């Protein structure tokens, strides 16, 4: 659907959730923001373009907002659909976006050796099946602009969920395509129920991104896994995301204060999960992403200290 003048949102299924891709249409060319999975482009984006009469020959740019399989998996399919497309992404995420094994090892295997948490072999196989990755043509760091003809979009560096995460801001409609830059208190299912925790990873960056987006105060906030937020709802989305960081920090500190024994990352996550969200036990373990970020931040501030492992453990200082 067209969610702002010349900005189209295309939702594709992702198990019991969905991923939203965007088409930003100028007079001369079109930018695709994120490509979902291979099927997302082969079926859903193709069908939408046909219905909306968007000529694939006009698709000049594809911007991957960050290195997650459900945002880059359709790159190969998009190149087949629009052979002249140029791919762009944040330079700090580039290696993971270009190679699926690097993505699996560095993005999803980060917790394997020191924290005892990893994706299953089945999930890793699924990621390989739904991703066709390609070399990136344009590496970005934020501050760049793309002229689509009568529409010049700006690229903002919005890290926290990943180091290289990008946002596309369209001044013409005062719309920000933030993808997963902020994730409120839970990632949602398609029916709006909590699916798993917000997987932000770098706390200082995530908080700075939330404050930057609050200051930007875009009229329309366009995400990948949440409904369109307009006006006060867009402000509330950012405020809730920022406040949840404080909640996670308090719970981590409370869990560590309740014992004089060092605790592993998973032990901290499982002890605090009931206070942080309503997810089932398996999905709740994805708290490893934000909780490790907070433990690293608290360690830098001297509030907790790390006990080398494996597994690595933490105590209050």
Report domain extents, the chain. 2-241
Residue 287 has what pLDDT? Answer: 98
Q: Measure the CA–CA gap between 190 and 24, rounded to whole angstroms.
A: 23
Residue 281 burial (CB count, 10 A): 8
Residue 79 has what pLDDT? Answer: 98
Domain 2-241 sits in CATH 3.40.640.10: no
Q: Measure the CA–CA gap between 141 and 31, rounded to whole angstroms.
A: 18
Checking 265-273 for CB contacts under 8 A at 24+ apart, the result is 265/111, 265/115, 265/116, 265/117, 265/291, 265/292, 265/295, 265/311, 265/312, 265/314, 266/115, 266/116, 266/117, 266/311, 268/295, 268/314, 272/248
- Compute CA distances 188 → 213, 224, 232, 233, 250, whole Å: 21, 10, 20, 16, 23
Q: Measure the CA–CA gap between 82 and 170, rounded to whole angstroms.
A: 23
- Segment 57-66 shows an average pLDDT of 98
Residue 310's Cβ-count burial label (10 Å; 0-12, 13-18, 19+) is exposed
Q: Measure the CA–CA gap between 305 and 15, rounded to whole angstroms.
A: 39
Indicate whether 309 pLDDT > 90: no
Indicate whether 19 pLDDT > 90: yes
What confidence tens digit (pLDDT) does each residue in 199-256 have? Answer: 999 999 999 999 999 999 999 999 999 999 999 999 999 999 999 999 999 999 999 9
Q: Measure the CA–CA gap between 118 and 109, rounded to whole angstroms.
A: 6
What confidence tens digit (pLDDT) does each residue in 144-162 have? Answer: 999 999 999 999 999 999 9
97: left (phi over 0), alpha (psi -120 to 50) or beta: alpha
- pLDDT averaged over every residue in the chain: 98
Q: Is the pTM of this model over 0.95?
A: yes
What sign has the CA pseudo-torsion 169, 156, 194, 244? negative
Indicate whether 31 pLDDT > 90: yes
């Amino acid at each position: 659907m067209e969610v702002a003048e010349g900005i189209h949102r295309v939702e594709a299924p992702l198990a019991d959730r969905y991923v939203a891709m965007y088409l930003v249409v100028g007079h001369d060319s079109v930018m695709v923001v994120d490509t979902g999975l291979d099927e997302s482009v082969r079926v859903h984006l193709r069908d939408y373009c046909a219905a909306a009469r968007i000529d694939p020959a006009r698709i000049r740019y594809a911007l991957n907002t960050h290195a997650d399989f459900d945002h880059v998996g359709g790159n190969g399919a998009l190149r087949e659909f629009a052979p002249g497309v140029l791919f762009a992404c944040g330079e700090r995420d580039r290696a993971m976006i270009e190679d699926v094994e690097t993505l699996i090892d560095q993005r999803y295997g980060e917790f394997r050796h020191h924290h005892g948490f990893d994706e299953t072999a089945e999930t890793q196989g699924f990621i390989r099946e739904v991703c066709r990755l390609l070399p990136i043509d344009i590496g970005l760091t934020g501050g760049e602009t793309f002229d689509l003809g009568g529409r010049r979009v700006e690229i903002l560096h919005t890290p926290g969920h990943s180091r290289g995460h990008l946002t596309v801001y369209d001044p013409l409609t005062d719309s920000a395509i933030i993808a997963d830059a902020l994730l409120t208190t839970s990632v949602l299912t398609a029916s709006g129920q909590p699916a798993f925790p917000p997987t932000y990873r770098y706390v200082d960056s995530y908080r700075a991104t939330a404050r930057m987006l609050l200051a930007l105060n875009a009229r329309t906030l366009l995400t990948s896994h949440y409904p369109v937020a307009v006006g006060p709802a867009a402000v509330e989305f950012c405020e809730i995301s920022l406040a949840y960081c404080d909640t996670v920090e308090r719970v981590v500190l409370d869990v560590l204060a309740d014992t004089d024994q060092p605790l592993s990352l998973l032990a901290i996550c499982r002890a605090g999960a009931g206070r942080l969200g309503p997810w089932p036990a398996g999905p709740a373990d994805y708290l490893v992403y934000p909780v490790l970020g907070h433990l690293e931040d608290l360690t830098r501030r001297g509030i907790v200290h790390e006990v080398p492992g494996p597994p690595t453990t933490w105590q209050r200082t």
